[in-house]
Chain A
């Protein structure tokens, strides 16, 4: 057969079927061009143009905002779920240029790709049974199982189990239990797409004779793999409960943190000092945890200072107040305010526009919010003093 020589799954087929697999909820509100350069034999170049709900797949690269480069065999493996996209990305098998943030959305654009399935026949299911015997499953069982499969592709078979050996014969031969079923349902049960128990209770599958024998029969054979050798994913539905936990909270400042936060209203930054080791704490703490004494002296510091350690985040963590992802990149940094030394730094954010200037030692000043409520966000961010 042709199928044996030619792989059933091709990159062209994956892109060719995309428009028919669009998930309307996934593409809603997205407008962008995604370029794909698939290298190696069977590869090519495609652009997936998403325009607020409409999806068009074109050959070639057309003004993409993000371009993914990957070898054909890896792209097929990712599509079939045999290679984890994230692992491929991490290990460099899949390379991305452009707006990375767009890629997360792309995961939800399409329904799952199903390879063109070779025709599964009832005759093939019974014909391969002897080669699929699970020795542990048939141990200790002796009985003849009759099967009457109705419909065009049907027929009659008997599975003769005699303590460890299995023979499959055409026709019915003294069965102790006989199962009657439509051909399409029998194929669906074999491929795991229809639950046997559901078929039984809904009358799609009828049983005459010793019902008790059927339980062990589910363990007689190893999984049926359709003729092409392309393993079908088990289609069993697994239930997932998805929710957003959203709870209102209240936090008491206490008098030490309260004093620090209150001072922000007056554009003042207060640290407190350990009477024993003399170090400053910013934000202030009621005690010095190292000396285990109350830190009750107050010192105004800053507000200007310099960057001690900048951290530029390209990966969006969710805002705990909304559950939504933040815009990236952003810079979170430890600032060494005037009057402080060593590790006596204040942790805050740097203005987005100043990201290219985020270097150790650069002078900064706080930018205050017009309306200040006594919260750390009264400082909008720090900005570089030019």
Chain B
């Protein structure tokens, strides 16, 4: 028997700690509007002429403060890229396999990540027109949009 090997073993550990994340005033306004009015809002940088969804209080390109320039965008948009999640992890919002896509909403200049449902994986394509399906039970998170579904 290899004594050295006997002395090399593995101890199981766990890390469990509470945390919280503050959305801030800008993030809160976006989430509250989504939750209460089922409307999606972005912030516009007038210098760069770009509408950011989700919103940010500062334009990352030119550094301008844009936190008061709210604009409403549509709940429809276009898929600009996607991937299929095929493995399961406890933290995932839905059961694998599922489609995680980048969606550029009509009226926005930045795509954001969300789940696309209601289409077979083999039929999924870039350029697909989609529409937001809002959650019935709200949680004050981005999951107040349940998912996006093919439009029309």
SS class of chain A's interface: helix, strand, loop or mixed? mixed
SS class of chain B's interface: helix, strand, loop or mixed? mixed
Task: Mark the stretch among B12-20, B77-85, B102-110, B118-126 that contacts chain A.
Answer: B12-20
Q: How long is the Cα–Cα vector from A215 to B44 in the complex, in angstroms?
A: 14
8 Å CB contacts to A: which residues of B1-25?
4, 6-25
Q: At the interface, yes or no: A321 with Cβ under 8 Å from chain B?
A: yes
Q: A238-B25, A241-B141, A251-B11 are in contact. Are A262 and B6 (CB under 8 A)?
A: yes
Q: At the interface, yes or no: B31 with Cβ under 8 Å from chain A?
A: yes
What residues of chain A lie closer than 8 Å to B100, measured between beta carbons? none
Q: At the interface, yes or no: A116 with Cβ under 8 Å from chain B?
A: no
Are B15 and A245 touching (Cβ within 8 A)?
A: yes
Q: At the interface, yes or no: B37 with Cβ under 8 Å from chain A?
A: yes
Q: A197-B70, A318-B17 are in contact. Are A250 and B22 (CB under 8 A)?
A: no
Q: How long is the Cα–Cα vector from A343 to B114 in the complex, in angstroms?
A: 56
What residues of chain B lie closer than 8 Å to A241, measured between beta carbons? 20-21, 23, 141
Of A201, A251, A254, A255, which is within 8 A of B13 by CB? Answer: A251
What residues of chain B lie closer than 8 Å to A321, measured between beta carbons? 13-16
B133 to chain A, nearest CB (A): 21
B37 to chain A, nearest CB (A): 6
Q: At the interface, yes or no: B27 with Cβ under 8 Å from chain A?
A: yes
What residues of chain B lie closer than 8 Å to A202, measured between beta carbons? 37
What residues of chain B lie closer than 8 Å to A248, measured between beta carbons? 12-14
Are A255 and B8 touching (Cβ within 8 A)?
A: yes
Q: How long is the Cα–Cα vector from A246 to B9 in the complex, in angstroms?
A: 23
What residues of chain B lie closer than 8 Å to A262, measured between beta carbons? 6-7
Supply 20 A–B pairs (Cβ within 8 Å), ascending by A.
A218-B68, A236-B28, A238-B24, A238-B28, A240-B21, A241-B21, A242-B20, A243-B18, A243-B19, A244-B17, A244-B19, A245-B17, A248-B14, A249-B15, A251-B10, A255-B8, A261-B11, A318-B18, A323-B17, A375-B11
